[in-house]
Structure 1
Amino acid sequence: MSDSMDDERQRIREQKKRELRDRLENGSVSGDSSAVEQAASPDTPISIRGRDHLDEVVGEHDVVLVDCYADWCGPCQMLEPTVESLAAETDAAVAKVDVDAHQRLAQQLGARGVPTLVLYADGEPVERMVGVQDRATLAGLIEQHS
């Protein structure tokens, strides 16, 4: 991708952030949640319902952190507060894939163990990590690819 496209994308991203911040500060955000969702990433993790849903989420957001987890997994439970705080505090969208409910999708994402985290930037997987990661590492990767 060319530098001019990257610059334009960054300019648009910054403009949307300013617009959302202005609307939130001025209390002008009405019950229309779709406008907020388009302008910013969700503040809570998105539960992925299948491959098409994941593709949709990755297509809608510049940076997406995908957490492949299992309810029975102790390390996954340890990572959950970190994942939730990243969703609330970063520009990245955070998606969660239950490996038991979506085994084929987990395989496609390269999840051979849980938790597996896959970071997408501009629609492409750019990082894959297995095991519990600290918040600073994940936040740094998100910032690096934002």
Structure 2
Amino acid sequence: MLSKTWFIFKGWCFVTKPIDVSDSDFETQVIESESPVLVDFWAEWCGPCKMVAPVLEELAEEYSGQIKFTKVDVDTNHETAIHYGIRSIPTLLVFKGGKPVDQLIGAVPRAEIKKRLDNALG
């Protein structure tokens, strides 16, 4: 039985929740992705990160099959956070074609995140 995280449709497997990404698999999961990717840079102790997390889970379901949602814990994945100049969390980076194309910093409203995701798809 599949959990809510995954579902299969006509042979395709879609992720419906953000997946954890580390320094070691960031390139494979984000840079090499054929679809746009939202990366949530966060930390366990971050209050605003906890506020944004349920919104991102809802959006991951809504955009399933169109945009991949990932999470990078900045406390355990320093290299990736430093490489992308992450100084405040939560920071959301949207990647398309392996390159960052948009950035949101802080506890951004759901409507603004959706607007940026729609732009990435357009």
Using the size of structure 1 for normalisation, the TM-score is: 0.70
Match of 1:72 in 2: 45
Could you tell me how far 1:144 is from its partner in structure 2? 1.1
Q: TM-score, normalised by structure 2?
A: 0.83
* 1:36 equivalent in alignment to 2:8: no
The aligned amino acid for 1:126 is V
Q: 1:101 aligns with which of 57, 61, 76?
A: 76
Letter in 2 for 1:127: D
Which residue number in structure 2 is paired with residue 88 of structure 1? 61
Deviation, structure 1 residue 60 = 2.3
Asked if 1:45 corresponds to 2:18, the answer is yes
Aligned equivalents of 1:49, 1:132: Cα separation in 2: 22
Q: Which runs of 5+ in 2 are unaligned?
A: 1-7
**1:134 and 2:109 matched:** yes
Question: Larger relative contact order (C-alpha < 8 A, sep ≥ 6)?
Answer: 2
Larger Rg: 1
Pairwise CA RMSD = 1.6
Deviating above 4 A after TM superposition, structure 1's stretches of 4 or more consecutive aligned residues are none
Which moved further from structure 2: 113-122 or 52-61?
Answer: 52-61
SS at match of 1:125: strand
1:113 aligns with 2:88: yes
Structure 1, unmatched stretches of 5+, are 1-22, 30-34
Q: How many residues align?
A: 111
Q: 8 Å contact 2:33–2:97 — kept in the other structure?
A: no
Percent identity over the alignment? 32
Match in the other structure for 2:26: 54
Instruction: Select the structure that is richer in helix.
Output: 1
